[in-house]
Chain A
Amino acid sequence: MKKNKKLIILLASLLLLAGCGSKTSNQPAKSTTTNESTKNTGENAFPTFEANDFEGNAVDNSLFSKNAVTVVNFWFNGCDPCVEELPKLNALNEKLKKKGAELIGINVEAGNGETVLKESKKILEKQGATYRNLYFSNKSSLLEYSSKLEGFPTTFLIDRNGNIVGDPILGSIDDEDSLKKVNQRIDEIIAKDKTK
């Protein structure tokens, strides 16, 4: 009996250990740097950042102001599901362009040197992804931000003011269902943008 009791306590503690739910937000910590032109320090603001696109042009948060929605997809070269979804994302971007929206990729490892950047470009080319992609240096706020992401790929929907709208999408957007949901969310943000 004593043995059974011990066992029940053990099992219960194991279940608790595995089952502790929490309301803690899992959104990555917001960056605190505010020395750049777009000073959006709101609750859901995408971190203030400086990066480069794959052509070498400097890019910062001002890119969000050009579109009603910017879809930001975090990925890296060795991530199989990220690479697999690139063609789907490219097709999505073609549709978005007509709506006044844009999809950009942020490769979290392409800033590690010319070789990695070249490999990233090769992957994009092979997968037929022509949309804009960014890389960042070790000093960028995006380094810490991306290291706190729950997994890859993670995709954010960002409005004209640089705010993250809704929850980030964890995992690939590769089936009809998830694509439909994302499109719906994008349309809602565009509709809101028009009423302003």
Chain B
Amino acid sequence: MDKKSKISAIRHFFQKRNTIQAIATMLTNIHLPNFLKGTIYKGNLKTVCVPGLNCYSCPGATGSCPIGAFQAVVGSSKFQFSYYITGILIFFGVILGRFICGFLCPFGWFQDLLYKIPFKKLSTKKLKPLRYLKYVILVVMVCLLPVLVTNSLGMGRPFFCKYICPQGVLEGAIPLSLASSNVRSALGNLFAFKGIILTVVIVISILFYRPFCKWFCPLGAFYSLFNKVSLLHYRVDENKCKSCGKCAKTCKMDVDIIKSSTHPECIRCGECIKACPTNAISVQWKLEKMKKEGNKHEKE
């Protein structure tokens, strides 16, 4: 493939982001009839984690939520740490980084759709310090509290799932309670509390672009640590860049790709690639780069 057709193929791919997100959400929740039955798939695939934030208790869920599974393991009386799930997360992170947020996460797509609702849009540029909150949530709610706050038998609770995660209410509690009267009668104060959280997240997602990803998501926080090393990454060609600033202006995650092409907040949505008038920004695989460099060495 020559360079020009490669660039147009990449642009075409990013233009299809919405469709890819829809397909990813579908694949993450493949058991559609379960929505009518009000049951959860509990087969073998549930031992594997999906890459995005997707509740285990969603009737359609194909696999487990990595954040939920991690808490379930560290919260049990037998383990303090989950090597298996951390390993899966590192694997996803090393390959794709926050591309997962931009393309594969169902809750990311949900927020994208909400932002498309025509209503007043507000900038998050002045709210950048809130970005650090997601790391606090990752450390405190996902890693520490489930291990430290235990009952007399050493059992912890999945604090993030139980008290914060709006995806759990959206995908788990709401569809299950609609389909099952038993689940309905089990709903109580906790459901009301988390219903409020979900409502707030929905409202702010209409006003701001992806507030949950930016400020609260522990999974996004984890993947953000891998943006610097992920195989899939962005490259800015300094020879082509005219420093027009269109990329920074168009970025809804408030990233200036020229300053840092591996910024932790970059969800690889490709908006900057589309906006660049000189095609200076491109997607690359580090393997490709390594191969090329390897070939160079061989020739020398």
Interface residues in chain A, defined as those with a beta carbon under 8 Å from any beta carbon in chain B = 4, 7, 10-11, 14, 17-22, 24, 26, 78, 80, 83-84, 123, 126-127, 147-148, 150-151, 167-171
Whether the Cβ atoms of A17 and B180 lie closer than 8 Å is no
Nearest CB in chain A to that of B76: its residue: A78
Nearest CB in chain B to that of A148: its residue: B39
Q: Which of B92-100, B113-121, B132-140, B246-254 contacts A (4 or more CB under 8 A)?
A: B113-121
Q: With contacts A80-B155, A123-B153 known, is A170 near B186, CB below 8 A?
A: yes
Nearest CB in chain B to that of A4: its residue: B118
CB of B274, distance to nearest CB on chain A (Å): 16
Bound-complex Cα distance A37 to B76 (A):
40
Nearest CB in chain B to that of A18: its residue: B175
Bound-complex Cα distance A10 to B153 (A):
47
Selected contact of B153 from candidates A126, A150, A168, CB within 8 Å: A126
CB of B250, distance to nearest CB on chain A (Å): 18
Q: With contacts A18-B174, A19-B175, A21-B179 known, is A84 near B151, CB below 8 A?
A: yes
3 nearest CB pairs, A to B? A171-B186, A170-B186, A26-B180
CB of B264, distance to nearest CB on chain A (Å): 29
Name the A residues within 8 Å of B200 (CB-CB): none
Whether the Cβ atoms of A22 and B36 lie closer than 8 Å is yes
Interface membership of B192, Cβ < 8 A: no
Bound-complex Cα distance A127 to B40 (A):
30
Name the A residues within 8 Å of B117 (CB-CB): 7, 11
Cβ proximity bits B95-117 to A, threshold 8 Å, 1 near / 0 not:
00000000000000010010011
Q: With contacts A7-B116, A18-B170 known, is A24 near B155, CB below 8 A?
A: no
Interface residues in chain B, defined as those with a beta carbon under 8 Å from any beta carbon in chain A = 22, 32, 35-40, 42, 75-77, 110, 113, 116-118, 151-153, 155-157, 170-171, 174-176, 178-183, 185-186
Bound-complex Cα distance A4 to B38 (A):
31
Name the B residues within 8 Å of A24 (CB-CB): 36-38, 179
Name the B residues within 8 Å of A123 (CB-CB): 153
Whether the Cβ atoms of A20 and B113 lie closer than 8 Å is no
Selected contact of B42 from candidates A14, A26, A126, A147, CB within 8 Å: A147
Whether the Cβ atoms of A10 and B113 lie closer than 8 Å is yes
Name the A residues within 8 Å of B75 (CB-CB): 80
**In this complex, which of B39, B40, B171, B174 has the most chain A Cβ atoms within 10 angstroms of its Cβ?**
B39
Whether the Cβ atoms of B179 and A20 lie closer than 8 Å is yes
**In this complex, which of B35, B117, B176 has the most chain A Cβ atoms within 10 angstroms of its Cβ?**
B35
CB of B174, distance to nearest CB on chain A (Å): 6
Name the A residues within 8 Å of B153 (CB-CB): 83, 123, 126-127
Name the A residues within 8 Å of B38 (CB-CB): 22, 24, 26, 150
**Besides A22-B36, A24-B36, 10 other A-B contacts (C-beta < 8 A):** A11-B113, A17-B175, A18-B170, A20-B178, A20-B179, A22-B38, A24-B37, A150-B39, A167-B182, A168-B182
Name the B residues within 8 Å of A148 (CB-CB): 39
Q: With contacts A20-B178, A80-B157 known, is A26 near B39, CB below 8 A?
A: yes
Q: 24 A-B residue contacts at CB 8 Å?
A: A10-B22, A14-B110, A17-B32, A17-B35, A18-B170, A18-B174, A20-B175, A26-B38, A78-B76, A78-B77, A80-B151, A80-B157, A83-B151, A83-B153, A83-B155, A123-B153, A126-B152, A126-B153, A147-B42, A150-B38, A150-B180, A167-B182, A169-B186, A170-B182
Name the A residues within 8 Å of B180 (CB-CB): 26, 150
